[in-house]
Amino acid sequence: MLLLQASRGLLEVFIGLLAQTRLGLVGVALLFLIGVGIRARHSGVAVGAVVVLALLMTQA
């Protein structure tokens, strides 16, 4: 259980740094929208942010 939480935390940090490096503030804002959409159970917001983030990451 502890290993799973630790690896999840490291993955979150890595994804955040990767998005910030490639996309700057826009990437961080999209990651924030994904988190908020999932927490608030608004799947439309989360899915939209994931799609935009995926498109921008492929272009960066």
Separation between Cα atoms, residue 43 and residue 60, nearest integer Å: 25
DSSP string, 23-52: HTHHHHHHHHHHHHHHHTT-HHHHHHHHHH
Q: Provide the residue ranges of all domains of the chain, joining segments of one domain with +.
A: 2-59
The reported pLDDT for the residue numbered 55 is 86
pLDDT per residue, tens digit, the chain (60 aa), is 678 878 888 887 887 787 778 778 888 888 888 888 888 888 888 888 888 888 888 886
Q: Are 20 and 12 in contact (CB under 8 A)?
A: no
The reported pLDDT for the residue numbered 60 is 64
pTM of the model: 0.64
Burial class (CB in 10 A: 0-12, 13-18, 19+), 7: exposed
